[in-house]
Amino acid sequence: MYDFVVVGSGSSGGTVAHNLHEAGAKIVLLEAGKFFRKDTFPKTEMDYSAQLFWGGGLEFDSQARTAFLRAKCVGGTTIVNQCLMDRFDDVAFDDWKQRSGVDFLSVAKMLPFYEKIEAKMKLHTFEKEETKRNAQLFTAACDKLGHKWKYLRRGMSDCKVEEGNDCIGCLGGCFRDSKQSSLVYSVQVAEQKGLEIRAEFEVEKIEHFADHVLIHGFQNKIKQEIKTKKVVIAAGSFGTTQLMLKSGFKAKLPALGKGFCQHPQFMLFGVFDIPVDAHKANFQTVGSDDPNFRKQGFKLENVFAQPISVGMLFRTYGKQHQDIMKKYRYMSCIEVAVRDQPEGGEISIDKKGKLIVTKTLTEQDKRRRDTGLATIKNIFSAQGAKEVVDSPFYFGLHLMGGCSIGVDEQKSVVNPQFQVHGHKNIYIADTSIYPSAPGINPSLTAATLSQKMSEELIKS
């Protein structure tokens, strides 16, 4: 029997597995996706979109308004995100504390855990010399309009941009282990020390007993059963919530599946007379840092994407669509990420256990979106953009909630010790426990909460 089974290998699962293994526990890390390495990640956007994401890259809410980007591979979504590493502020933690009643959710009490997790990864804050035209247009316009902005802090090291490397490629997995995904800073480190990892293992159901947990699943379509003293579920907001629902916990946990939020992201493209080449070199170096935006519930990101993703966002077809795509090199992009209300989102399953995500933008969410989009249009105007192209779609990369942490069993799923209420052998510490949207990139804090949880597990 294992001491621990960890389900999921992203920022949370990777951290827990690494820490528990290092402490000497008998542990296995299960991951539904494949085990890609820096030299085996798919090379093209088409291939990585199909192979690295759940649903072959196409996963939507029940109304098909929003597309979700959720990775299915060892390292989880940290493989396909930008690894922007921001700590949460008082605004985020105060809201969490108020909603959950959990005392340790504060900047001061989380600080030692942030410091420990940050010490495990290589962090870099960009400087002026590393920015390209896309970022320079953004910062010049922000300065002109009086909006505060900042250089971003990213988990990265030795990216060889100065030698011509284009970092947008690492959105399909970093091919030099420079980006600080959980694969790089936790999973592979623990693997070298002997951590057992079972990829392509889909957990179907868990059963809780007084002194152990049974894990039922399939590995490469072969039925498997694993017995463990404790299980840590870290399959992300969708994966963890779906597993809990499929395992029949909804009857005892009324809050299960509630409070889904995602920082819905709306992208606008400005078209210029001379090439911007936003896909070259460091591709995301600056973002908004304006206290007024924070108060108004949104932030702006100076992002971009490869052609298939950009093409998917435009509403047109045929020649009109191609005419926009011909301007790919001349485009700059800014997105607004809304700090959305958890009341508008719910995760459930159908009779076959298939995921159903309901996400309705509340009136407040819409106001925040519209204020953000109007701000972006002003920025493009100040930049001298010749044309602004919008999109009917929005997407979610920061998937949060469904198994909220809290002291009240009626309103939450996980207690302040990260145990599922009434089930002492089941733990959760990934983004599914977030009581609300922080309005800040969630990955670093997911790893930090998992650092805290794993230290408590080791002590006990």
Residues that bind another protein (CB under 8 A): 38-39, 43-47, 49-51, 55-58, 60, 62-65, 67, 158, 160, 163-166, 168-169, 175-178, 275, 279-280, 306-308, 311-312, 315-319, 321-323, 325-326, 328-329, 392-393
CB of 393 to another protein, least distance (A): 8
DSSP bridge partners of 386: none
Q: Which is nearer to another protein, 235 or 379 (CB)?
A: 235
Closer residue to another protein, CB minimum distance, 50 or 382 = 50
Closest approach, Cβ 328 to another protein, in A, equals 5
Which is nearer to another protein, 62 or 381 (by Cβ)? 62
Q: Is 46 or 349 the residue whose CB approaches another protein more closely?
A: 46
Nearer to another protein, 179 or 423 (CB): 179
CB of 188 to another protein, least distance (A): 14
**Smaller CB separation from another protein, 67 or 347:** 67
| Residues 109-137 as b or e (16 or more Cβ within 10 Å = b) | ebeebbebbbebbeebebeeebbbbbbbb
Q: How much of the chain is in helix, strand and coil states, percent to nearest 5?
A: 35, 25, 40
Other CB atoms within 10 Å distance of the CB of residue 222: 8
- Closest to another protein by CB, 305 vs 336, is 305
Phi then psi for residue 336, to 5 deg, are -105, 130
Shortest Cβ 151–another protein spacing (Å): 23
Residue among 188 and 306 whose Cβ is closer to another protein: 306
In the bound complex, what is the minimum distance in angstroms from residue 298's beta carbon to another protein? 21
73 vs 413, beta carbon nearer another protein = 73
State the DSSP string of 28-87: EEE-SSB---TTTS--SHHHHHHHHBGGGG--B-TTS-EEE--B-BTTGGGGTS--B---
**Can you list the alpha helix ranges (DSSP code H) found in 205-290?**
236-246
The answer to whether the beta carbons of residues 161 and 282 sit under 8 Å apart is yes
Shortest Å distance, C-beta 238 to another protein = 14
Nearest residue to 302 (alpha-carbon basis) of 337, 340, 275: 337
Instruction: Determine which helix (DSSP H) or strand (DSSP E) holds 27, and give its type and residue range.
Output: strand 27-30
Report the nearest approach of another protein to the CB of residue 334 (Å). Answer: 20
Minimum distance of another protein from residue 134's CB (angstroms): 14
d(Cα 262, Cα 259) in Å, to the nearest integer? 10
- Closest distance of CB 54 from another protein, Å: 9
Of 93 and 304, nearer to another protein (C-beta) is 304
For residue 387, the minimal CB distance to another protein (Å) is 16
**Integer Cα distance of 206 and 377 in angstroms:** 49
Q: How far is CA 320 from CA 172, 184, 315, 353, in A?
A: 28, 42, 10, 41
Query: Is the distance from CB of 72 to CB of 54 less than 8 angstroms?
Result: yes
Start-to-end CA distance of the chain, whole Å, equals 18
**Rounded CA Rg of the chain:** 21
